[in-house]
Amino acid sequence: MHNLGDRVKVTNNHKMKAFSGEPNIFTPTRPEESQAELKVENLTLKFGGITALNKIDLSAHNGELISIIGPNGAGKTTLLNCIAGHDTAREARISFNGKDITHLSTHHLAKIGIGRTYQNIELFQSMTVLSNMMLARHAHYKYNVGQASLFLKNVRNEEVRHREVLEELIDFLEIESIRKEIVGSLPYGMRKRVELGCALALQPKLLMLDEPFAGITLEEKEDMVRFLVELNEAWNQTIILVEHNLSMVMSISKRVAVLDFGVKIAEGSPDFVQNHPQVIKAYLGDVS
């Protein structure tokens, strides 16, 4: 039917994968450590005369992979920016695990467990894969100088823990062979995977991904799907996935919200939304 793009197969072998060594970063010691319940109410954002988002209500439940789709310019990136605290001129009420987070800074939001990737990759291109991931993690898990000089043992333990987390992630994302490569020299699809690694380095409770499949090969898409499905199904990672095409999310999301011109025009199962007249109209009118 209308502009639904490539179909990507989802294999079941993700359920077979297991990590060697302990501790496992995807298994929190207490369930509440990974708890993620997001509620966005009545979100409106205007850019001059353009209403980029119009009275959006959206929720993401703990352990869910919810997809947000819509044609170019629908407001998907703006919605992620609003949740992540970038577009602060918005009107809204946003809560996370029952706490009002509407006015928290991006830094604070990252600290309480809201992580994301960007539509146009934001990595340090002249640094290695490992350095990018270390920087991503250290940006939010810094010990202060006083601690560093007074409690060297604690700091060392913390360093060991950081290393363990990064090594597990490198193992999980199958990027062992490129860990020392300069990011700018990698194929685009690999850079997307490294960006996912940087977002995961923070061990976010809620992971928001802005078009992780855009511009990558079919094989890379299948790998990306496999990682996301495993993160969600095997490790209970809560994910908001922004994607242009409905077909990409059909097999991996149980719930899909559709934006068009800043309005949420439909929400429900993939089958429900793909047969929704307004959704069909929005996509038929999309020439991209």
Ligand X SMILES: Nc1ncnc2c1ncn2[C@@H]1O[C@H](COP(=O)(O)OP(=O)(O)O)[C@@H](O)[C@H]1O
Residue 74 touching ligand X (CB under 6 A): yes
Among 67, 77, 238, 274, binds ligand X (CB under 6 A): 77
Residue 275 touching ligand X (CB under 6 A): no
Which residue number, 51 or 131, has a Cβ lying nearer to Mg ion? 51
Max Cα separation, the chain?
65
Which residue number, 211 or 223, has a Cβ lying nearer to ligand X? 211
Among 73, 134, 276, 280, binds ligand X (CB under 6 A): 73
- Please state the closest distance from residue 240 (CB atom) to Mg ion, in A: 13
Angle (deg, nearest 10), helices 218-229 and 188-201: 20
Residue 117 touching Mg ion (CB under 5 A): no
Distance CA 7, CA 249 (A): 9
Residue 77 touching Mg ion (CB under 5 A): yes
Task: Find the helix or strand (DSSP H, E) in which 242 lies.
Answer: strand 238-243
Task: Find the helix or strand (DSSP H, E) in which 54 lies.
Answer: strand 50-60
- Which residues have CB under 8 Å from 198's CB, separation 6+? 117, 123, 132, 133, 135, 136
- Please state the closest distance from residue 73 (CB atom) to ligand X, in A: 4
Residue 212 touching ligand X (CB under 6 A): no
Residue 78 touching Mg ion (CB under 5 A): no
Distance CA 181, CA 213 (A): 22
Which residue number, 72 or 126, has a Cβ lying nearer to ligand X? 72
Which residue number, 69 or 114, has a Cβ lying nearer to ligand X? 69
Q: Are 112 and 101 in contact (CB under 8 A)?
A: yes
Residue 78 touching ligand X (CB under 6 A): yes
- Which residues have CB under 8 Å from 185's CB, separation 6+? none
Stretch that binds ligand X, among 5-13, 76-84, 196-204, 278-286 (CB under 6 A): 76-84
| List of residues contacting Mg ion (CB under 5 A) | 76-77, 119
